[in-house]
Each structure stands twice: as structure tokens, then as C-alpha cells.
Copies of this chain bind each other. A is one copy, B any other.
């Protein structure tokens, strides 16, 4: 190995590489955190804000009046081919600003805008400006939560905010564990992993080391949840090696709430079959009807059978902020774990999921000591590590925007937004009921309104097509789903600025599109 330190070049041994000296390639302000960087970010965001506003006006509605193919073409044109050389344009001194403007324009002009009152399909909220700004601060600092020395303050902040949210959920903040996740799907997966390893360890095996094949040894692991639970429960079961058919779908009532008696029967069957009940997953806010399982009754049953209770409150967890509505989650604090998504009824930009456990020690199956991240002597010396709480390694400080929002609005401020959305859902449901061509599926439990245009025997096709017609014409983004084998439409109301007049206008759009589709159907016969 030949090494020549100093001088203009370094020749490094085995591969004989000569190192040039002109390595510096960045302009001042190019790095967000370096001197001049935050100001450069602010200038770029200010320029992008103009483009965002102009593109919103240009779009003029909740989504572009374009087909998917047309949108893809617009994106392709704006992107152009992947360049090798940096973009050079003699007319512009600042390629960063120019490229950002061009791509911001195409993204915004062809966006589905959750802040538009006629965009109401999904659990896809319009984020608060202050949360978005806080998110930008998190990006500038780029802390990573997998070790203290990549996130000193952010580590402390996550620990504190997790405690606060645990307190809201009815846990002891000093005993509870938790972590910020990418959303309900990751929260469910993580909770089911912990529950799986907890349950299988109880059979005398070590599933972390040996896997579920040996640990299960004849007994089939089972996860029990309401039949209207989120599909990520099945998906998690597949991921965890248990298989989708490990999930036992427990009967639900007409508002999609798990029937406690049916849960008890399912647990009895599981026992009788010699299977291992890994977890009961209760849902606080099903995706379609917003159904909230009876957490009090279910938590008693889970305790009686000695089974881990996880509550998927990705949607309904926002009720914790509302003085008027938080009683709907009574019993939550008795669960082993709960997932909340503050990018739903919390008005955060994605991602702001949270998984909480009643006790920190429940995270044990995830704990790892990694030489380069959290060596034991560092932990003994007082350097905390959050590595053992997350499925991820590198992890963004999403907690920062949550912390800022909780301070700006307070829990009551967020609660008022929750109340507003629920009130809007009740009013909108009333308007559906009063409408001669629309049918309501069920009374709203949370902030969704499931309904359809009544086209008799043609209803399924007409509703599917009228929804696509509204999208193609750029008029509305309405959800759809399937209940009892039929196609229904859905409004998911997460915009606290939307009024009953707005949703009445939206229902009028749906009815008009339904009339048009019905005529087209009849003409084509």
C-alpha cells in the first residue's frame, strides 16, 4: 500500500487510484443546514409557494380534469429525460429554482387537493400550514432517530411526546412505550409482531431466533379482529409468516362493530382447536363506516382469555382530542397497544403515525444492541437509544411537527376540528337522507358518509362510473367501497373548513353525474 499524504494528489495503493484535489463542487447555501442553507431553503419555498397558488387556481377544482394518461403525459413532459449534466439555462441564474418551479407546477396542477371541499374520498387530510413548516425544519436538520448522536434533542422530544399521547390514551405516561411510525399499517404490523413473539414465547420457543415454524409446532397462531378491520391486519399476518388465513374475522353489527359475543365464541373455538391466540385487534374507526368497537367489553374479554389486545385507532384516535367525543373510546387504556394516525384526524402531513404500548417492556422482541448504533457502554453512560422501538433504522424526526401542532392548537384546538368534521358528517348524512335520488348506508359513526345514487338494478355500475366521471371532469374526488356485495360511494370528511353548503353542492354533483350515467346506460340498451 503506497500512501502519499499531503501535496496535490494522493495515490492509494492496491487500485492505484489517484485522487484529484478539486473536489469542492457545491455552491454556498447548497446544503440546507450549512451557513446560508436555511435562507436558501426559505427562498426556494417562497418561490414554490407562488407556483403552488398559481397551479391551484389553474386546476380550479379538487383534481385535474384529465385522464390518468393525460396526467402521465404532463408529468413526462415536465420531467424530460434524466439528464447526465446539471441543467444549464443561460436565461436563468438559478437552476434549482427553475427546476423546482417546473416540477412543483406539474405536481400541483395535477394533484388531488385534500384542502378542496370537493376532495373527500379518503382518510387523506389537508395538513396545517404550521405542521408543514415544522416538517420543513425537520428536513433541514435531518435528524435520524436510530441513535442519540444523530438526534440528541429529537430523541428527547419523541420520548416526551410519546408520553403525552400515551397519557391521552389512558396509559401511565411514565410506564408506557411507543414510537412514531409511518402510519396505521406500520403500527399494526409492529404491534402484531410484538404480540406474535409474546404469544409464541409463551409456548416455550424463541420465535425471534427460531421463527414461527418451529415455535408453532402444530398449534396455529391466530389473530382475531372484526370483519370490517383494516386490510393491513391480513397483510401483516402474511408478512409475519402466519398467513392471511391466520386471521379470524369476527362477526360485526350493521355499523361494523365487532360483536363481543362473537369474539368470545371465536376465542373459544381457537382454544378448542388447540390454536394460539396471538392477538385481538379491535378497531376504533373502520375505514368505511367509521365503526368503533366496544373497547370496554372487548378489553375485558381479551383479559379474561389472556390475549394481547391491540386497538387500531388510526382513524378514530383523533377523538381523544375532543371533550365531546372522547367517551367513544372508553376502555382504550386497557389495551396492550394502540395505533393512532395524526395524519388523519390530526391534520399533519404524512407521516405522523404513532404506536403506543401500555408498558415499555412490551417492545422487548424488537430490542437490539448494534455495535455501531447503541453499544451497551454508551447506554450505561446515559446515551438513550430509540432503535429498539422501530422496525426502521434510519428514521425521520416526524415527531417535531406533532410537538409543534400540539402546542399551537392544544388538545382542545384539535378537538374542535374533530368536532367540526363529525358535525359535518351528520349534517351531510341528513342531506343524503333528504335527497330523492340518494340512499344512505348507515348513520355516520365518525366522519364518513357512505351512500349511493339509487339506480335500481343498475346501481353498482352507475355508481362506479359516475365516480370516474366526476374525476375525469375534475369535479369531485369521491370514495367508493363495497358493502354486502354492492358498490357504495363514500365521503370521508376531514376538512374542518368544509361547510354543509359545500357538501350539499358535492351531493348535487354526484346526483347530476348519476343522472347522466343512468341516461347513458339506458341509451346504450
Contacts and interface: CB of A to CB of B under 8 A. Distances in A.
A103 to B, nearest CB: 5
A380 to B, nearest CB: 10
A207 to B, nearest CB: 7
Interface string A131-162: 11111111111111001111111111101110
Q: Which of A164, A211, A240, A341 has the most CB of B within 10 A?
A: A211
Interface stretch (A265-273, A356-364, A394-402, A511-519): A394-402
Contact of A115 (B34, B108, B186, B381): B34
B82 A406 contact: yes
A203 interface: no
Interface stretch (A48-56, A293-301, A330-338, A451-459): A48-56
Given A63-B149, A103-B403, A243 B207 contact: yes
A53 to B, nearest CB: 5
B407 A243 contact: no
Interface in A406-452: 406-413, 416-417, 419-420, 423-424, 426-427, 429-431, 433-434, 443
B420 A128 contact: no
A58 interface: no
Given A68-B383, A139-B135, A408-B86, A393 B183 contact: yes
Interface string A41-76: 110111011101100100000011011110110111
A323 B5 CA distance: 25
A82 B497 contact: no
A241 interface: yes
B132 A41 contact: yes
Contacts of A221: 211
Contacts of A426: 10, 12, 17, 19
A19 B135 contact: no
Contacts of A377: 464
Contacts of A160: 72, 75-76, 79
A246 interface: yes
Interface string A460-495: 000010001001000001011110000000100001
Interface string A73-109: 0111001101111110000000110011001101111
B86 A443 contact: no
A152 B26 CA distance: 34
A455 to B, nearest CB: 16
B211 A246 contact: yes
A520 interface: no
Nearest to A210: B243
A109 B211 CA distance: 44
Interface stretch (A256-264, A302-310, A343-351): A343-351
B103 A124 contact: no
Interface in A111-131: 111-116, 121-131
Given A19-B427, A66-B152, A79-B157, 18 more contacts: A10-B427, A12-B429, A13-B443, A25-B417, A26-B496, A33-B116, A34-B115, A42-B48, A46-B46, A71-B152, A84-B412, A86-B409, A122-B147, A212-B212, A213-B213, A235-B368, A238-B365, A372-B480
